Structure 1
Amino acid sequence: MAPYDRLRTGGSPRPPRAGDTWWYAAVAGEAADSFSTRVRTRTRRACLGAVLLLTVVYAGLVLTATGRRWSDAAVTGRRADTRVAEFLRDHPSLAGAATLSLVLACVLLAGLGLLRKRYALTGAAAGAVAVSLAVAGLLQGYAPRPPAADAGALPPSGFPSATATLAFGVALGLALVTPRRPRGLVVGAATLWAVALGAYSVAAGDHRPGDVIAAALLALAVQCGLIALLARRGKVRPGPRHGTVLRSLPATLPLALLGAGGLAAGFLLLGDTLGLPATAPYDPAELRLAHRCGQALAAGVGAAAGLVLLALVRHVDLDGGPAPYRLGGPFVEDSGAPEQGELVGPFTENRDHEIS
């Protein structure tokens, strides 16, 4: 096969390398083993997995009586947890600080992208946050759920939480507009902030733990779907494989410990809190245990969502398209290239050759 032939379907999977032509480089991006294809496959699978987990959480915590009883107990248990009640009572300004942090996070997402002149990626990240909020609103308004037995005793179910969806959407969206080297540090720190904001909303009684869990999974699904779309359009390229682990360790290590510890503690406590009686009165100790279990699960899932996204884009450069390929072959001398460093086309000036 001639060096400038376009590969046929099922043809040679020869990987692209420096010296190949732009013609072959464009075709190689469509190969089954190309970098863009691998990124698209991984992120698409992560998106589908997050959607599947979101469906499981919805079916288990919203549609079943046991799940609804556990969620209500987790919200009610905040009053039985004296440490949480005293902390919120001693810090009444946390509600305003949470709202202000959401505004500043949105400004950071937009400002960082605009300062780096990544206008398309900034629009994509903002669009992903908007899509997440729109899907959350549709689920809150139109997803079927049984009517609450006592609507005045507890806040209505907001599955998923719009506040947590915005927080996790912004935190994960920073992966698009942040330079690759500090990406792990920035996204990890932002994910820790989103987890803390979700924990506050549960402790304040504004949302149930399942609402925060669903928000983290929804933001992860939308972000993975967006990266898969960028990979399909050829907007990703491989980045250096060294020099980023130690830089991001101050944020990723606490995030990993929080994710592993939260999920382990949550599942251990879950078996002791699912056996609540169908009717009141409840034991305050059981309610307190349910609240702590819900907090642990919500924190673990939120931290895991950030770690999954960082793992998916660890070696991926999202700042632009594929790296340019330089021409190599028998037509370099005939093309009249003035310098070796310039990119030239595969055809000679007289264009008297043909591709076999």
Structure 2
Amino acid sequence: MNAPARPTPAAPLVAALAAVALLAACAWFFVGTRRGQVGDELALRGATIGTWRWSTQAEALLQTVSVGAVAVALAVVVVVGLAAGRPRAALVGAAVIGAANVTTQVVKNVLVTRPDLIAGDHTANSLPSGHTTVAASIVVGLALVAGRRAVPLVTGVGAAVVTAFGYATLVNQWHRPSDVVAAVLVACAWGYVGEAALRAGPRPPQPTSRRRPARRPAGAGPSAGWGLVAAGGLALGVAVVAVALMWGVGLDDATRLQRLVAHVGGSAALAGVTCSGLGVLARPRSA
């Protein structure tokens, strides 16, 4: 019996290009235009409404991100990959974590500059968020080395963790919503490149037996990430509604409720991009 068709690198490469295009659009609008800067600033100001209740916990979560934590995460990815008998995946997963974090620093400090388009706002560019990139890239790296059965669990729990880290930066006024969305896009783009590299590698040895091949494990099919993608779509819908409600509202005349709506929209965008991006990655793994 013929072996099942092997997934090609085409789909993840297209996904990577889409993530890069969205990253460029995010930087152009939210950093390079006044309307985008105003929307981001409104969402940032809205983050102060009621969030003092968990700002201490949010800061404690962010303090877990350090060079040592990244080193431990890299080691875990490599060990998991080697333990699963997938040394190529271990190498690719570690490379993706490193590449995503380097890319964020290059984009933030070299490629993107923030013009002064809002009176009194002379802050330096903060897109993408470094802390969110660390969290998202670790989840992506683990998804690349995880076995088929574990991928839905890794991406599902990972989406919650990444959203929590990103939201913590909003609560503590460290970053604007566009910063955390851009960070997730950076990590996902490199994750898709990593998946394409795994698919393009040598095909694993096929069994010589003529017996019917074992059934694909539950949750390993293309539908494994559909739940995350659907949840992400709903969250992005909330973000679009918030943008429509806030379009044209100025910084000086925004009410408390409008600032809160902007904050909810920015948070929904973070959750939507995170769930959708990781959901796309939750598909059959290459060997």
- How far off is 1:175 after superposition? 1.9
**Counterpart-to-counterpart distance in 2, 1:114 and 1:281:** 57
CA distances 1:153-208 after superposition (whole Å, capped 9, x unpaired) = 68643111111111111111112221111221122212221111111111221111
Where does residue 98 of structure 1 map in the other structure?
62
**Which of these residues, 47, 63, 67, is aligned with residue 78 of structure 1?**
47
Where does residue 2 of structure 2 map in the other structure?
17
Where does residue 201 of structure 2 map in the other structure?
233
Whether 1:284 and 2:256 are equivalent positions in the alignment is yes
Instruction: Name the amino acid aligned to 2:2.
Output: R
Aligned 8 A contact 2:229 2:277 in 1: no
**Counterpart-to-counterpart distance in 2, 1:195 and 1:237:** 39
CA RMSD after TM alignment: 3.2
- Determine helix, strand or coil for the equivalent of 1:217: helix
Instruction: Name the amino acid aligned to 2:247.
Output: L
- How far off is 1:152 after superposition? 7.9
Q: Aligned pair in 2 of structure 1 residues 196, 290: CA closer, same or farther (>3 Å)?
A: same
- Determine helix, strand or coil for the equivalent of 1:220: helix
Aligned 8 A contact 2:88 2:198 in 1: no
TM-score by length of structure 2 reads 0.83
Aligned 8 A contact 2:13 2:193 in 1: yes
**Counterpart-to-counterpart distance in 2, 1:193 and 1:271:** 28
Where does residue 174 of structure 2 map in the other structure?
206
Aligned 8 A contact 1:35 1:237 in 2: no
- How far off is 1:264 after superposition? 1.3
Whether 1:130 and 2:98 are equivalent positions in the alignment is yes
**Counterpart-to-counterpart distance in 2, 1:69 and 1:240:** 55
**Which of these residues, 218, 221, 234, is aligned with residue 261 of structure 1?**
234
**Counterpart-to-counterpart distance in 2, 1:151 and 1:116:** 55
Where does residue 334 of structure 1 map in the other structure?
none
**Counterpart-to-counterpart distance in 2, 1:240 and 1:41:** 26
Where does residue 268 of structure 2 map in the other structure?
296
**Counterpart-to-counterpart distance in 2, 1:202 and 1:237:** 48
TM-score by length of structure 1 reads 0.68
Paired residues for 1:158-197 under 5 Å: 158-197=126-165
**Which of these residues, 14, 17, 22, is aligned with residue 45 of structure 1?**
14
CA distances 1:122-144 after superposition (whole Å, capped 9, x unpaired) = 22211111111111111111124
Gaps of 5+ in 1: 1-15, 19-33, 320-356
